[in-house]
Amino acid sequence: MSDAIPVRDPREPRFPVIVKHPTFSDVKSNFNGSDYSRWLGISAFSFPAGYVFGLKLHRHVAVPSMVVTGVLGSLGGFLWAFQNSSFRLQGYKANPMEVKQYITNKEELARPGMWFTGIIGALGGAMLAYQNSSLRLQGFGRNDKETEKAYQKQQGVFLASKKFAGKKKGPRFYKEVGLGFKTPKSAIEGQYVDKKCPFTGNISIRGRILKGVVLSTKMKRTIIVRRDYLHFVKKYKRFEKRHKNVAAHLSPAFRVKEGDVVTIGQCRPLAKTVRFNVLEVEPASETKPINVRKQFRQF
């Protein structure tokens, strides 16, 4: 009988073993150009991919999505490079350079990763600064209250109270408008000042409660709401489509776009044509945009 062919244990390394149990510093110092290219390539792809993905969801989450996806992609690229470097040291992957450096010459590999780490840190810092500036302009952040020339403060709120000394959040007035409408979290925790806001101002909701579709958001803190209805023509015994546009005040507590469905409540006259205030917002679908002027919707 012929001798049996020995079967190699797949768990045994196929190449020379440099370090059987390498430490983190051993693996990190063993990074080569291929490992750094993997790390850099995945990181460079993750930031724009996260920005595009966030932009498809909403423009307000584009920058945070870019930061989070970029950091996760950079971490994933580092782990991939770390695994390849560790496998070469343990002999599970081809390691001619490691054999030459560690066994023949007994020299450590160069560590050309400091510049890459510095670039990633600078890029992340710049993006965070851009994000903070963007959030302040959109009504969030620490300095969102003082956006006008005059000092902004709520009526009847004493800002120099010792009760809030040394605290980040100062005194804030908010209320419930009633009728089953909840006060939004942004009105309670936000820092904006709007005397015409139904939740933080001196506005009381009474009278009619209407629903409509946002037609225009071009004005500052005022939107145009379109309300479709059917008018009965007695002569022909038929209904005809009609609509009316209503101007309503929009509190900074809400973020709306064209196509969103809003609930508005009647209040005292706020301007020449403004008699309503936004109380609730139902966001429109991002995947199926509608033409507000063409589509007939009754509420």
Q: Concatenated DSSP letters for 145-165?
A: S--SSSPP--TT--TT-GGGT
Report the chain's terminal Cα–Cα distance, integer Å. Answer: 90
Tokens (6 digits) for 186: 């942004």
- 110, 250, 260 from 246: Cα distances, Å: 70, 12, 15
Domains of the chain, CATH where assigned: 24-137 (no CATH), 162-282 (2.40.50.1000)
How confident is the model at residue 100, as a pLDDT?
61
How confident is the model at residue 194, as a pLDDT?
92
CA angle 160, 164, 170 (to 5 degrees): 80
How confident is the model at residue 109, as a pLDDT?
40
CA angle 197, 199, 205 (to 5 degrees): 80
Q: Are strands 261-266 and 238-249 parallel, antiparallel or unpaired?
A: unpaired
Tokens (6 digits) for 78: 């580092």
The pTM of the whole model exceeds 0.75: no
How confident is the model at residue 187, as a pLDDT?
93
Say how far apart CA 225 and CA 244 lie, in whole Å: 8
Packed helices 33-57 and 62-90: angle between N→C axes, nearest 10 degrees: 160
* Residues of the chain below pLDDT 70: 1-20, 93, 95-145
Say how far apart CA 172 and CA 283 lie, in whole Å: 27
According to DSSP, the residues that pair with 212 across neighbouring strands are 262
* Cα dihedral value 120, 121, 124, 130, nearest 10: -130
